[in-house]
Amino acid sequence: METLNQYLENWDLARRKEHSKIALFDPTLSRNLTSSEKKHFVKVFYHLRGHFHDFLWFVASHAPNAKAKRTILENIEEELGGNRKSHEQLYFDFAHSFGVDLKDEVVNQTSYVLFAREFNRKHLEYLANSDWDGKVIAFAAYERLDNVDYADLLSLAKSIGATKEALTFFTVHAQVQHYEMARDKFSLENLWDRNDQEVREGFSFIGDHQNQMWRDLSDSVFRYDNNNN
């Protein structure tokens, strides 16, 4: 019988295989992006990660006890960076290195394009229609994706010209172990033993939904100049 670790190893491999088909994660292609295409990526990607607080708030607000709430709050505290810059500030630094001031995106959401809105909306829809175990599974799956996504995102950031401090947002996320925290605090092994199908369904949704977003983002970036001339 397949164990949780075996399932997740195969899940990771499937995610990496999907990434290998996406132009945005091919440095030989992304290094040729124009300045306007790079800025478009910076702005749209902000919305694909900048609304994660809605996801966290929904899960925390529906947590059944103080221990579960504290686990989500620990994640939020880590996002705020303690005595160091918050992850939001680190991303602003990355954007600034490309001449992008994100204040307009925060206030007016000018580049919050339809597929990005749908990406975030469907996460909340999934959470709203899930019981507590389903919410925990979705949270753990989303966090595990960082282990796959940010290795490729770091490579992407380097390929488009980000250096030194501008890369900090990506290097930090490539090193964090949020999934391990979620796995241990929410006893994902026990959830698997009790109902492995629910775990599979949650991870499948989060993984497939995220991969569709990457494909949409890649298409949006590489077609940006042609669509705006």
DSSP string for residues in 45-69:
HHHHHHTHHHHHHHHHHT-SSHHHH
- pLDDT (tens, 9 = 90+) of the chain, 229 residues, equals 889 999 999 999 999 999 999 999 999 999 999 999 999 999 999 999 989 999 999 999 999 999 889 988 888 888 888 888 999 999 999 999 999 999 999 999 999 999 999 999 999 999 999 999 999 999 999 988 888 899 999 999 999 999 999 999 999 888 776 667 777 777 888 899 999 999 999 999 999 999 999 999 999 999 997 788 6
CA–CA dist 24, 35 (Å, integer) = 15
Question: Cβ(130)–Cβ(191) under 8 Å?
Answer: no
Q: Which secondary structure element, helix H or strand E, spans residue 113, and what is its range?
A: none
pLDDT at 44: 98
pLDDT at 88: 94
- Structure-token pair, residue 14: 């499937």
CB under 8 A, 24+ apart: contacts of 39-42? 39/98, 39/99, 39/100, 40/111, 40/220, 40/221, 40/224, 41/160, 41/217, 41/221, 42/94, 42/95, 42/98, 42/100, 42/102
DSSP one-letter code for 86 = -
Question: How many C-beta neighbours within 10 Å does residue 191 have?
Answer: 20
Map out the domains of the chain with their CATH numbers. Answer: 4-227 (1.20.910.10)
> DSSP characters for 151-167?
HHHHHHHHHTT--GGGG
CA dihedral 78, 111, 123, 90 (to 10 degrees): -10
Alpha helix ranges (H) inside 176-195: 178-185, 188-194
pTM above 0.75, yes or no: yes
Greatest C-alpha distance within the chain: 56
